[in-house]
A and B are shown apart, each in its own frame.
Chain A
Amino acid sequence: MDFFVGIFNDFYDFFVGIFNDFYRTMIEDGRWLLLVEGLWNTIYIAICAVLIGTVIGCLLALCKISKSKVLRTIANIYTTIIRGIPLATQLMIFYFVIFAPFGMDRHLVAVIACGINSGAYVTEIFRAGIQGVDIGQTEAGRSLGLSRVQTMWRIVIPQAVKTALPTYTSEFIALIKETSVLSFIAVTDLNKAGDLIRNATYNAWIPLITIAVIYLLITFGLTKLFAVLERRLSRSDRG
């Protein structure tokens, strides 16, 4: 009997210890508010960036498939440069070089830099989606007398969206994770918030595991959400 009481007490002490550590690192002095701020920054910067990226991606994907050599070249230069340089480096170039003279707000720089970065990947996703639609679809549309634009809009793009959606949503999820480099320009994103708590409390594992779980919950939740969306869109594929 004493043996079991002993084990119970050990477990009890263990969990009380964890709780006390957690309380000291996260709750005391309202440090959890840092995480809330970081989470908010991460989410709104990622959403704004993906919106910018989507607009850029739509335009440049159309450039990439256009007949004009000039437009194609511009789009190719953009995607080559952006995809060939790490986001952290780009972010610092934007903040310390390009926008430095304007003294622009670091959050705004973060949104612009992430948006431009995401745009290059979205461009490639959309281009692959459009070019993945069988050429026969375009020929069928054109042979009915529809113009290039009408065919693109009503026949090719609806099918391209469906095939591009899984890669597009994973780009958004990847972007949420990549915003963790924002600390390079001293934006308090979720990762930075965890780091600040670690420095203040000398406890590494509680803040780091906490932000890891938060990242995982966001990405897992979004993955599930997008899967539902895909299933709806693929209704015509059921056979």
Chain B
Amino acid sequence: MIEVKNLVKSFDSNVVLNGINETIQKGEKVVVIGPSGSGKSTFLRCLNLLETPDSGEIWFEGEQINTKKCNINRIRQKMGMVFQHFNLFPHLTVLQNITLAPVMLKLQTKEEAEKRARELLTRIGLIDKADIYPNMLSGGQKQRIAIVRSLAMNPDVMLFDEPTSALDPEMVGEVLELMKELADDGMTMVVVTHEMGFAREVGTRILFMDGGNVLEQAPPEEFFEHPKNERLKDFLSKVL
């Protein structure tokens, strides 16, 4: 579904991604872990071209997306993204946050979009918040609504950029719970996170990144029980 070939990205003279090759299949839940500055967020942001790669190729559903010819707006409709800082639109109500993109892009009528938004809000138990503004919500509620906002576009893949890192500890659970539900529904997911429990439980494949390279990747069992790379062993000994 997503194929990354020899992806290189640097900011000024600082090489952040050093030739990444990766293929993500439909239905996979790939969890990317690694120390700060290892390039994992940049890798994720390159997948929907929020960062423009210096060189290399990114393919999505059989189409190379980092070319001039490709209409990236159309591709992004199929790639949901969830941010560390939620990035809900503060000037719009919760319902408007969710319906803005599908209505504006003429994928759904206003009525259809609102019906779908209400269904999604009901599912996450926040239907009573439909008509209030985001600043009235807790961090966990904001992030769950941000996830729903992406879901309203019916994406084929969801990208999560440290979705729980900005949350109070007691809010982390509700967000991870929703992500688990998504995973169980069969959503293809790429998740950058520091939540090792989530990685082990939900991930189908774990990538360890450091210094702009993927140093090791394996299914969670093998990854956590029998790490081979020295850097990974060191990292796991500190975080587990």
Contacts and interface: CB of A to CB of B under 8 A. Distances in A.
B is a partner of A: yes
Interface of A: 134, 136-137, 139-147, 150, 154-155, 158-159, 162, 236-239
B188 interface: no
A142 B85 CA distance: 15
Contact of B89 (A147, A155, A162): A155
Nearest to B137: A239
B69 interface: no
A145 B73 contact: yes
Given A144-B77, A236-B90, 7 more contacts: A139-B50, A142-B50, A142-B73, A144-B150, A154-B100, A162-B91, A236-B91
B78 to A, nearest CB: 8
B52 interface: no
B76 interface: yes
Interface of B: 48, 50, 73-77, 79-81, 83, 85, 87-92, 100-101, 104-105, 133, 135-136, 146, 149-150, 153
Contact of A146 (B75, B101, B133, B135): B101
Contacts of B87: 134, 136-137, 139-140
A144 B48 CA distance: 10
13 contacts: A139-B81, A139-B83, A140-B88, A140-B89, A140-B146, A143-B81, A143-B150, A145-B76, A145-B105, A146-B104, A146-B105, A236-B135, A237-B135
Given A144-B150, A144-B153, A145-B76, A136 B101 contact: no
A141 B153 CA distance: 12
Contact residues of A: prevailing secondary structure: helix
Contacts of A239: 135-136
With a 10 A CB-CB cut-off, give which of B74, B80, B90 has the most chain A CB atoms: B90
With a 10 A CB-CB cut-off, give which of A139, A145, A150 has the most chain B CB atoms: A145
Contact of A143 (B79, B91, B133, B135): B79
A236 B101 CA distance: 20
A127 to B, nearest CB: 19
A237 B89 CA distance: 12
B89 A142 contact: no
Contacts of B149: 144
Contacts of B85: 136
A21 to B, nearest CB: 55
A145 B101 contact: yes
B76 A143 contact: yes
Given A139-B83, A239-B136, A145 B91 contact: no
Contacts of B50: 139, 142-143
B100 A142 contact: no
A154 B89 CA distance: 10
Closest A-B pairs by Cβ, 6 of them: A145-B77, A140-B87, A144-B101, A143-B81, A136-B87, A236-B133
B135 A142 contact: no
With a 10 A CB-CB cut-off, give which of B75, B104, B150 has the most chain A CB atoms: B104
A162 B153 CA distance: 28
Nearest to A153: B104
B106 to A, nearest CB: 11
Contacts of A146: 73, 101, 104-105
Contacts of A150: 104
A202 B135 CA distance: 61
A155 B74 CA distance: 19
Contacts of A144: 76-77, 100-101, 149-150, 153
B83 A140 contact: yes
B89 A137 contact: yes
A50 to B, nearest CB: 24
